[in-house]
Amino acid sequence: MSGMQIKLYQTDNGPCPYRDDETWHNVSFRTSNIPADGYSSLLNQGFRRSGLSIYHPVCSGCQSCIPLRVDVQNFSQNKGQRRTWRKNKDIRVEHHPVGFYQDDFELYRRYQQDWHNVESPVEESEYFEFLVETPVPTVIIRYYLGNKLIGLGWLDCLPDLISSVYFVFDPEYLSRRLGVFSLLYEIEYTRFLDIRWLYLGYWVANSPKMNYKANFQPAQILHDSRWIPFNADKK
């Protein structure tokens, strides 16, 4: 990070998506380019990114957002994950450079409206700023059933780690558990690259939206600036 001048600012992001009656605040900065080792260092300090914004939660009286990473070299699928993996053997997976593609945007917009019940139509500029603009090497992973695009994942690919950025799927295929399948695929891809760690962003205890992350073991969480083993049975 030497030589970089960073101007931090605090943002008020409205209601917390994980805690009722709480508000969500970040400290963040924007950058159009950051060295891979610099971003790795920031991830290991609990930062994440959204587009060109690098952020860290700083909510008053709350430290519920806990960074989590999976040890892919020692990961083994549990029974439910093996079932999901087999169920999706007919899916074709493609890797592409990050960029704006209309089919991607249409799936993203449908996911936000049908799955997250976003009321106002998603704008192309919003999608572009969130998932196309990036200061680090990023790839799009597309999941096809036949010729139909049913899932999209974004991965930041650094020399010593892979960071899972976001995933969307066609809600019509809910029964396939594509969110779980995509993470299983990302684990296999990270393992293929001979990289040990897949970063999954934040885990929040007792949050239904986050429960699935505890099922990918072995894993570590960031505690007092140190990565420690994550015992999912002692959440």
Domain boundaries, given as residue ranges, for the chain: 9-66, 68-234
* pLDDT at residue 233, rounded to an integer: 60
Q: Which residues contact 74 (CB under 8 A, 6 or more apart)?
A: 218
CA distance 81 to 181: 8
pLDDT along the chain (235 residues), means of 10: 63 70 80 93 95 87 86 97 97 97 96 81 94 97 98 97 97 95 98 97 84 93 94 60
Question: Measured between alpha carbons, how far is residue 60 from residues 23, 26, 42, 63 in Å?
Answer: 9, 10, 21, 8
Average predicted confidence (pLDDT) for the chain: 90
CA distance 124 to 104: 11
100-132: per-residue pLDDT in tens? Answer: 999 999 999 999 988 777 777 889 999 999 999
CA distance 74 to 178: 22
Backbone dihedral angles phi then psi of residue 212, each to the nearest 5 degrees: -60, -30
CATH class of 68-234: alpha beta
Question: Measured between alpha carbons, how far is residue 45 from residues 41, 184, 225, 226 in Å?
Answer: 6, 25, 6, 9
Rounded to a whole number of angstroms, the distance between the first and last alpha carbons of the chain is 33
107 sits in which H/E element: helix 102-114
* pLDDT at residue 4, rounded to an integer: 55
